[in-house]
Amino acid sequence: MDWKVFVATFGAVFFAELADKTQLVGIGMAAKTGKPISVWLGSVGAYIIVTVISVFLGAIMAKFIRPEMIRYIGASLFICIGVLMLLKVI
């Protein structure tokens, strides 16, 4: 295991996910249902699946596209989605 990659990935994901919409969903679901263990298990399961998909897509894309382009494409999509949300299109 490459611990530098592990720590860098952990730090990036941990800080990116602080106070995001998925945490708000978890808070709301736990408060509404009163079943925090079920909410936690559902959240962890969903996040595992999303992470597996994103890692595999990243590995496949890296074979065809330079990492810098993946970063620019991701940033551009993030900005476009933000603008669409501001305009209340999505």
Q: What is the pLDDT along the chain (90 residues), one digit of tens a residue?
A: 999 999 999 999 888 888 788 888 999 999 999 999 999 999 999 999 999 999 999 899 999 999 899 899 989 999 999 999 999 887
Among the listed residues 54, 45, 56, 43, the one whose alpha carbon sits nearest the alpha carbon of residue 12 = 54
Report how many domains make up the chain.
Answer: 1
What domain range includes position 22?
A: 3-86
Find where tokens 């999505």 sit.
90
Angstrom distance (rounded) from CA 80 to CA 90: 11
